[in-house]
Amino acid sequence: MLVGVLGGGQLGRMLAMAGLPLGLRFRFFDPSPEAPAREVGELVVGSFDDAQALDRFSAGLDVATFEFENVPLAAAERVAGRVTMHPSPRALATGQDRLSEKMLFREVGVGVHDFAPAGSDAEVRSAAATLGLPLIAKTRRMGYDGKGQKVLRHEADVAVCWAELGGVPLLLERLVPFEREVSVVACRGVGGEFAAYPLTQNTHVRGILRESAAPAADPGGRLGEEAARHARRIMERLGYVGVAAVEFFVRGGELLANEMAPRVHNSGHWTIDGCQCSQFENHCRAIAGLPLGPTAARAPSVMVNLIGHVPSAAEVLRLPGAHLHLYGKAPRPGRKVGHVTLVGPDAVAGAERVAALSPIT
Ligand SMILES: Nc1ncnc2c1ncn2[C@@H]1O[C@H](COP(=O)(O)OP(=O)(O)O)[C@@H](O)[C@H]1O
Ligand SMILES: [Mg+2]
């Protein structure tokens, strides 16, 4: 079975590393000849608006998917017109717009903090007056790793917000004084089968995920069950096939949904080493119409993202239960170049060592 993946980043690379043993083969589409997935499959280099390149990519595929949520919708739709695509372009479209994500959460009864869209400077001012400060303004589209965001604490921030964020449609949200951030990674099969991984606790530094620990502290398992129920309702509403993640704030012990990703997710990387069947394998299984695999954690796990710095492999691998994953990317400030997952009783101490060995640059 030949799987086509729009995007050839580290997520695509890890999908292939999980799918190859299942007998799947991979072809990637990416604008860069240096795409990290080039080492694990065929790479079609092209621009997402090059219809001919997209058609060359689509020819002979059995199924298509995407690993990058900012794939232009028209490109996804063109490929989906020729070959079955999981998840669907509709799910991609929802995940590309912060406003449609939040409206979907509300529609299916998932708790969200207050928000309002703003399409002009005047609308920023009136939304700020209605919601009250402090707020966080986010571009509705194309934001990632905390990019395209601005915290509004004072009237002066409101006044410059529209211009500073580039004069594009925004979503204004109440700034949530959360106790912690958690996420759920879940998978839905072609027949509607559903499985969710244990709740994961995430720590961000300057808007970029630095660390994910799983299973998250969750007395009685209440939050994990609720997060999985939420993910299931969202996925059912979208007729979703494959892996998706939903990020939440925990505030007063309750979940507030922040955003979703219609793809495998950084907060699920620990499942490669910490679970019997990783998020990458389960995404492959789901889109190939195969039975889903078990999602229980083998042991407590902590994943540390390597951001802008590649540590010495020998020093990392000396730590008990350490698994090193490098993406084959040149280090640049703020760029995720790999991750380390520590599995077992020493995971928390090991994660502290990795963070010290590999400072964020
Ligand atoms: N409404 C909010 N209140 C408090 N913190 C927020 C809020 N929205 C975002 N953040 C912080 O910024 C991080 C990145 O924002 P997010 O909406 O997840 O965008 P992305 O991950 O696409 O860059 C969040 O994980 C959280 O730490
Ligand atoms: Mg996020």
Rounded Cα distance, 266 and 293, in Å: 19
pLDDT in tens, 18-30: 999 999 999 999 9
pLDDT attached to residue 101: 97
| Range list of H helices, 133-188 | 155-164
Give the DSSP letter string of 180-227: EEEEEEEEE-TTS-EEEPPPEEEEEETTEEEEEEESPP-GGGHHHHHH
Q: Is the CB of 42 under 6 A from ligand 1?
A: no
Does the structure show a pLDDT above 90 at 146?
no
Q: Is the CB of 20 under 6 A from ligand 1?
A: no
Rounded Cα distance, 361 and 351, in Å: 17
Atom 1 in ligand 1: residue holding the nearest Cα = 175
What's the average model confidence in pLDDT over 60-69? 97
Does the structure show a pLDDT above 90 at 144?
no
pLDDT in tens, 309-326: 999 999 999 999 999 999
Does the structure show a pLDDT above 90 at 222?
yes
Give the closest ligand to the alpha carbon of residue 180. Answer: 1
Residue 280: phi and psi, rounded to 5, are -70, -45
Distance 188 CA to ligand 1 centre (A): 26
pLDDT bucket at 354, cuts 50 / 70 / 90: very high
Question: In the chain, what is the straight-line distance between the N-terminal and C-terminal CA atoms, in Å?
Answer: 40
Does the structure show a pLDDT above 90 at 104?
yes
Atom index in ligand 1 nearest the CA of residue 202 equals 25
Does the structure show a pLDDT above 90 at 214?
yes
* Bridge partner residues of 301 (DSSP): 214, 343
What's the average model confidence in pLDDT over 127-136? 97
Whose tokens are 């994961």? That residue is: 200
The domains of the chain, with CATH numbers, are 2-85 (3.40.50.20), 114-174 (3.30.1490.20), 180-357 (3.30.470.20)
Rounded Cα distance, 318 and 33, in Å: 34
154 burial via Cβ count (<10 Å: 0-12, 13-18, 19+): exposed
Q: Is the CB of 145 under 6 A from ligand 1?
A: yes
Distance 77 CA to ligand 2 centre (A): 25
Does the structure show a pLDDT above 90 at 62?
yes
Rounded Cα distance, 280 and 15, in Å: 5
Q: Are residues 58 and 35 in contact, defined by beta-carbon separation less than 8 angstroms?
A: no
CA 269 to chain centre: 10
pLDDT attached to residue 82: 98
Radius of gyration (Cα) for the chain, nearest Å? 20
Atom index in ligand 1 nearest the CA of residue 146 equals 23
Q: Is the CB of 173 under 6 A from ligand 1?
A: yes
Rounded Cα distance, 22 and 337, in Å: 26
**The amino acid at 76:** A
Q: What is the pTM of this model?
A: 0.96
Does the structure show a pLDDT above 90 at 112?
yes
Atom 22 in ligand 1: residue holding the nearest Cα = 144
- Beta strand 301-307 with 208-214 is antiparallel
Number of H helices, E strands in the chain: 12, 17
Does the structure show a pLDDT above 90 at 100?
yes
Residue 59 structure tokens: 């020819």
Distance 25 CA to ligand 2 centre (A): 30
Q: Is the CB of 247 under 6 A from ligand 1?
A: yes
pLDDT attached to residue 5: 98
Q: Cα angle at 327 between 34 and 138, to 5 degrees?
A: 85
Buried b (16+ CB within 10 A) or exposed e, 1-13: bbbbbbbbbbbbb
Does the structure show a pLDDT above 90 at 145?
no
Tell me the average pLDDT of the chain.
Answer: 97
